[in-house]
Amino acid sequence: MALGLFCRAESSAEEPAAGIRFVEIPAGTFYMGSKGLGPDYDEAPLHRVTLTRPFRMSATEITNAQYEQFDPSHRALRGKLGFSSGDNEAVVFVNWFQARYFCRWLSARTGRNYRLPTEAEWEYACRAGSYMAYSFGDQLPNEALKNQEEHHAFRPVDLTVAQSRPNAFGLYDMHGNVEEWCQDWYGPYPADDQIDPVGYADGLYRVTRGGSHSTPVVYLRSANRMAMIPEDNHFLTGFRIVEAPDPETKPLPWKPETRSVSQTRKKWTEGPATPRFEEPLVYVKAPERSETPMYPHNHCPAVTWCANGDLLAVWFSTISEFGREMAIWQSRLPDGSDTWEEASLLCKVPDRNMTGSSLWCDPETGRLLLLNGLEAGGWWRNLALMSLRSDDNGANWSRPSIVAPEHVPGHQVIAGMIRSREGWLLNTCDGGPDNNEGSVLQISRDGGRSFSSPCGPRPKTFQDGGVGGVIAGIHACLVQRRDGSLMAFGRGNDVTDSSGRRRMTRSISYDMGRTWSYSASPFPPISGGQRCTMIRLKEGPILLVSFTHHPLRVPSDDKRMRIDGELKSGMFAALSYDEGETWPVVKLISDGNYRFMDGGAWTGFFEMDADRSEPRGYLAMTQSPDGMIHLLSSRNHYRFNLAWLEQPNKPIR
């Protein structure tokens, strides 16, 4: 039967085992997907699908009362963050495995076969004969709309099922209320006709469908595809089930992408002791061809050296920083080359914002660790932390794993992971998207398998003149000092020095990030489009790179810095030999040669010469074992060594 040639199916009697009502969905043929334009590329190609057997689908999403017959402990999660407290509200905070176990429990209890729907079954049932954006047409009825915008803060809504009219099959809430787990592994659609498709044999993410509350309505379309790491759970996602035999179709083969990368371990030698500043390079290079689009806004880099001598950079690519199209891309500078390779996709959880990355290479083993933020939906306030590992210089990466599962503030990752003298991995994360929400420290004591904040879920905020539980400013950079204390600088929460000037705040913690004290640094505050960075050099000094002024204002004399007795503007480096107490060496990141450059992202075009350097950018930095310092802005790669930094200079005045 072709889709669209039937009338509304009649509902069956209530299922007594768990109080679940099912409706009959007939066999049929339909066209699955869409044109796949822009960020919806994964909905193409539009392809013909035949479902040869009818099935029964739950008329609503599984509710709290139904799910808790299987797992009574879930009752403790009712009302978490203000969502889903009632018996008849859709269950949330359930991962893919828990949804599947519910189906197995119900099957064992009733002697019938229950499972999650395949992605094809779900879209077929959702469309119910319609090829418009929604089964109801081009718009959804008002009663189906539940805070259909990207959430910045949690805004609870009633998730009671069946509060708006059903589709032509008699199914409720197929557009919104909560996302719904499907059985399939996520992957690209095949182009040819499919019969009873079941997706891929393996993969990284499990499909979710239908969109949810607190989500732009475009993500509630019948064709829209989403997915999640199977272990993930949050306030947007629940599930519904089908009663049907397990499909007998053979799944599509899945093979993770492998990159051609040299595996020869580099024998590092010390670089020349003479000053070196090499020609800046562009590391963000769009590929000529890619199945996944690389978007116009490429920003927020992280960088590390690899055991084979390569340099590896990652960043996010997006249309909007609030967007769910955001993906993590990578590029590589092969050992001995002066040309970065074309960019390629490293990681994309479908329809999830992924703001913030950090990269680290274990100097003993060569293992690479990528730490990344992962939103429940869009925006970047409520992220979990996920990680990937590579033991072959980035040729292959592990499956993404959840290393801090709560989707809450304090998980927006900032580049600059370090290993403390205790052997712990330390990484800063923004406390929130506002300049004055500060940064929190995330610590892993198990080699990156899990991260937690020492200051707890609700740290004491920045206290000008006092002690707080957060680092002053967002986008914080961090080092550990010789005495074991931590020192950090960030953007925002600026303080006034003894002469009345606003200054970037220096944050110090003597208890591994539980509390921080604040003081004025000698450096000017930074603002929009700017992020500072800091590392300890292998030779001993601490190196901070920041900016001399707010880039959107013409730098008058009091907004620039005097370096070598002259007014300078743009990106500068500062060296401290006494653990951040003084910074006697300050230098503009420029060799004095004139260049007209593109900084990408928020920076745009700028002129570089003896008095001017890049005016803004999100910075990340690493020092390779040969002593070369590699500094990335939002598009450009700068290379220099300590000897160049230490050429005669005068301190800030």
Residue 267 inside a domain? The answer is no
Concatenated DSSP letters of 421-449: TTS-EEEEEESSSSTTS-EEEEEESSTTS
Q: Is residue 178 part of a domain?
A: yes
Instruction: Give the DSSP H or E segment for 465.
Output: none
Instruction: Dump pLDDT digits (tens) for 153-183.
Output: 788 999 999 999 999 999 999 999 999 999 9
109, pLDDT greater than 50: yes
Check residue 10 and give its pLDDT.
41
**At which of 243, 264, 296 does a domain end?**
243
191 part of a folded domain: yes
434 domain-assigned: no
pLDDT of residue 188: 96
Instruction: Note whether residue 474 is domain-resident.
Output: no
Contact residues for 636 (Cβ-Cβ < 8 A; gap 6+)? 280, 281, 282, 283, 597, 599, 600, 614, 617
Other C-beta atoms closer than 10 Å to the C-beta of 203 total 19
Average pLDDT, stretch 519-538? 95
Of the candidates 185, 176, 322, 183, the residue with the CA atom closest to the CA atom of residue 236: 176
Q: Look up the CATH number of the domain holding residue 51.
A: 3.90.1580.10
Return the pLDDT at 551. 56
The rounded distance, in Å, linking the Cα atoms of 397 and 628 is 26
Q: How confident is the model at residue 380 (pLDDT cuts 50, 70, 90)?
A: confident
CA distance 621 to 549: 20
The distance in angstroms from the start CA to the end CA of the chain is: 81
Q: Is 200 helix (H, G, I), strand (E, B) or coil?
A: strand
Query: Measured between alpha carbons, how far is 126 from 79 in angstroms, rounded to an integer?
Result: 28
Residue 11 banded pLDDT, cuts 50, 70, 90: very low
* Mean pLDDT for all residues in the chain: 92
How many domains, the chain? 2
Q: According to the model, what pLDDT value does residue 16 have?
A: 52
Class of residue 93 by CB neighbours under 10 A (exposed 0-12, middle 13-18, buried 19+): buried
pLDDT at 92 over 80: yes
Distances (CA, A) of 153 to 30, 223, 408, 409: 39, 28, 10, 9
pLDDT (0 to 100) of residue 463? 76
**524/557 Cα distance (integer angstroms):** 13
pLDDT greater than 80 at residue 14: no
Task: Quote the distance between the C-alpha of residue 100 and its chain's center.
Answer: 26
Q: Is 93 part of a structural domain of the chain? A: yes
- For the segment 346-369, the average pLDDT, to the nearest whole number, is 96
Contact in structure between 240 and 180 (CB atoms under 8 Å): yes
pLDDT above 80 (res 12)? no
The pLDDT of residue 324 is above 70: yes
Q: Is the pLDDT of residue 87 over 50?
A: yes
pLDDT reported for residue 565 = 64
Residue 337 domain flag: no
Count other C-beta atoms under 10 Å from residue 338's C-beta: 10
What is the Cα 126 distance to its own chain's centre? Answer: 29
Burial profile 596-616: b = 16 or more Cβ within 10 angstroms, e = fewer: ebebbbbbeebebeebbbbbb
Note the pLDDT of residue 228: 97
Under the banding of pLDDT at 50, 70 and 90, the label for residue 350 is: very high
Across 522-532, average pLDDT: 94
Report the DSSP pairing between strands 505-509 and 533-536. Answer: unpaired
Contacts of residue 606, defined as CB under 8 A and 6 or more positions apart, other chains included, come to 570, 596, 597, 599, 612, 614, 615
Task: Quote the pLDDT of residue 510.
Answer: 97
Residue 9 has pLDDT above 80, yes or no: no
Segment 523-541 shows an average pLDDT of 96
Q: Are 163 and 141 in contact (CB under 8 A)?
A: no
User: Is the previous residue joined to 524 through a cis bond, with omega within 30 degrees of 0?
Assistant: no
Q: How would residue 65 be classed by pLDDT, with cut points 50, 70 and 90?
A: very high
pLDDT at 149 exceeding the cut of 70: yes
Q: Which of residues 190, 210, 243 is at a domain's end? A: 243
Instruction: Quote the percentage of the chain above a pLDDT of 90.
Output: 85
37 inside domain: yes
The whole-number pLDDT of residue 458 equals 66
Domain that holds residue 570: 522-653
Query: What are the tens digits of pLDDT across the range 476-516?
Result: 999 999 999 999 999 999 999 999 999 999 999 999 999 99
- The pLDDT score that the predictor gives to residue 455 is 82
For 217-245, write each residue's pLDDT tens digit: 999 999 999 999 999 999 999 999 999 99
Q: State residue 343's pLDDT score.
A: 97
Q: Read off the pLDDT of residues 412-467 as tens digits, 9 standing for 90 and up.
A: 999 999 999 999 999 999 988 777 789 999 999 999 999 999 987 666 777 777 78
Q: Which of 188, 216, 243 represents a domain boundary (last residue)? A: 243
| The predicted structure's pLDDT at residue 17 | 61
